[in-house]
Structure 1
Amino acid sequence: MDVLMLVCLLALGAVAGFAAGLLGIGGGMLLVPFLTMLFTWHGMPLELVVHSAIATSMTSILFTSLSSVRAHQRKGTIQWKIVLAMAPGIILGGLLSGGAAFAFISTAWLSTFFALFVGYSGFSMLRNTKPKPSRQMPGIVGTSAVGVVIGFLSGLVGAGGGFLSVPFMVWCNVALHAAVSTSAALGFPIALANTIGYIASGLTMDIDYPHMLGYIYWPALLALVATSVLMAPVGAKMAYRLPVSTLKRVFSGLLFVLAAYMLFKAVQAFGL
């Protein structure tokens, strides 16, 4: 890895860590498109680029989420009942995604899937539709079932689940700041389950590229983690200083930009 690549990864980790703390998105929504650019520039095979970007992004969330959770916990806004109810489903969904489905989806379709889901999530937040006052989080079974979906889909796009869990919790009348902090806590079980899956499925594919652990490019992982864990608490502090409307606009605007880039990568991969 050359010096310029290292500097880019350190800077990217800092920005992603800040975004993880601020928006509860685990940083994955930001990391995957930029890692796709950097890995392509670094000469990684095209058929491996998106898979490795997603796996490396998700694994970094293991560390970023812990740093972010510490900062949110000091504010007392994490809804641990929701975390405990959703975690079993999240782990199951993550193992199914990272350990099974992930390896068999092509770069083109993976990029398309990423773009559509991220774009939809941005649109959902921007609509600012008021939920029914009577709507609440479902029971343990329902919440765990939602966790399976979030864990599975998060594994396919390399994100901590905030792009789904934050809009879902807000839809269920959980306050936005509480939804963001709770999403940060959910990032750890999502990342853990999918990381195990990425390593296991990648080892079965006999990937011919140096410094890979399954689908994870570990030199990039180390550089990302070095700065993301430092900046996640800074972002978490800012989350309590910005008004809800500003957080929603930042969240949705970021998702639209990243969705557009990954859709462009999908078009390239399809050869259109």
Structure 2
Amino acid sequence: MIEFFLNNIATVLALATTGIFAGILAGLLGVGGGIVIVPVLFFLFQGFGVSAESAMLIATATSLATIIPTSISSIRSHQAKGNVDTDLLTHWALFILAGVLLGSWLVTRVDGAWLTLLFGVIAMLSALNMLFRTGKSALFQQLPGRGGQGVMATSIGFFSSMVGIGGGTLSVPLLTLYNYPAHKAVGTAAAIGLIISLPAALTMLIIGDTPADAPAGTFGLVNLIGFICIVPLTVKFAPIGASLAAKLDAARLKKIFALVLLITGLRMLAQVFL
């Protein structure tokens, strides 16, 4: 194993940097790791000669794998503060799982260009939400009925698994749109992230066909070197990001990140169409 890492030192260092970057941003801005990890891996893998289509597939699956341990750690923290809504999770879990299984199966079957397109759209929508809806009042006074919530949960599972993100990117804005308490939305999103990432990553690991141009250490669609390099550093540097947030203007930094995310989304869309 040591010899393998030494023979791929450039890849290891680049992936380790990704973990540090994702951890600091997650702690500093409160954003999910997937929304950072996917685009970084997408462009990083291409730098190592991987095609854009293969890079997106592997970035998606690897990102989901990294979310598993980080979401478990996050759940414990939020559970201790009473911010995980178990009643909502009980109702949503099967719907999320259904969406995840369909979405992760599709990832193993579709062209990576479609995933790049979808991520670009979601990244841009997330960026616009950060720029213009932060602190705005809810549009609805309460969550819809059980049928409407089922559609919401299934959609969150489906789209999150297809672009390699946890529950927070989609579920927090949706829940707060319906006047759901923000602190509970964030805590519950951590649990949603585990429901999404575990079955999705396993599906892509087991039934995904490894692309011929995949980087070293890729099994199925999951790059295990990326997983090993990213996870411990993300966990290690997230508290550092949180400490920086107390000293810096986090609101302004979040808007800067939103602009970067918007540009990233546009660049990914340009790669599809140009």
Correspondent of 1:112 among 114, 117, 120: 117
**Residue 251 to residue 186, structure 1, CA distance change in 2 (3 Å):** farther
**Residue 237 to residue 52, structure 1, CA distance change in 2 (3 Å):** same
2:32 maps to 1:62: no
Correspondent of 1:93 among 99, 115, 126: 99
**Retained in 2: the 8 A contact 1:118–1:163?**
no
CA displacement at 1:60 relative to structure 2: 0.6
Q: TM-score, normalised by structure 2?
A: 0.83
CA displacement at 1:106 relative to structure 2: 1.9
Correspondent of 1:15 among 21, 42, 46: 21
Identity of aligned residues (%): 34
Runs of 4+ in 1 over 4 A off after TM superposition: 21-25, 233-248
Letter in 2 for 1:160: G
Counterpart Cα distance in 1 of 2:244 and 2:30 = 12
Alignment-derived partner of residue 155 in structure 1 = 161
Counterpart Cα distance in 2 of 1:42 and 1:227 = 22
Q: How large is the RMSD of aligned CA atoms in angstroms?
A: 2.8
**Retained in 2: the 8 A contact 1:26–1:187?**
no
**Residue 42 to residue 59, structure 1, CA distance change in 2 (3 Å):** same
Correspondent of 2:182 among 176, 179, 197: 176
**Retained in 2: the 8 A contact 1:154–1:160?**
yes
- The C-alpha deviation readout for 1:44-86, integer Å capped at 9, x for no partner, is 3443111001110111101111122233334333333333332
Letter in 1 for 2:154: V
Q: Which consecutive residues of structure 1, in runs of 5 or more, have no partner in the other structure?
A: none
- How many residues of Structure 1 are paired with residues of Structure 2 in the alignment? 264
Q: TM-score, normalised by structure 1?
A: 0.83
**Retained in 2: the 8 A contact 1:107–1:266?**
no
**Residue 120 to residue 235, structure 1, CA distance change in 2 (3 Å):** same
**Residue 71 to residue 43, structure 1, CA distance change in 2 (3 Å):** same
**Residue 183 to residue 232, structure 1, CA distance change in 2 (3 Å):** farther
Q: Secondary structure at the match of 1:198?
A: helix
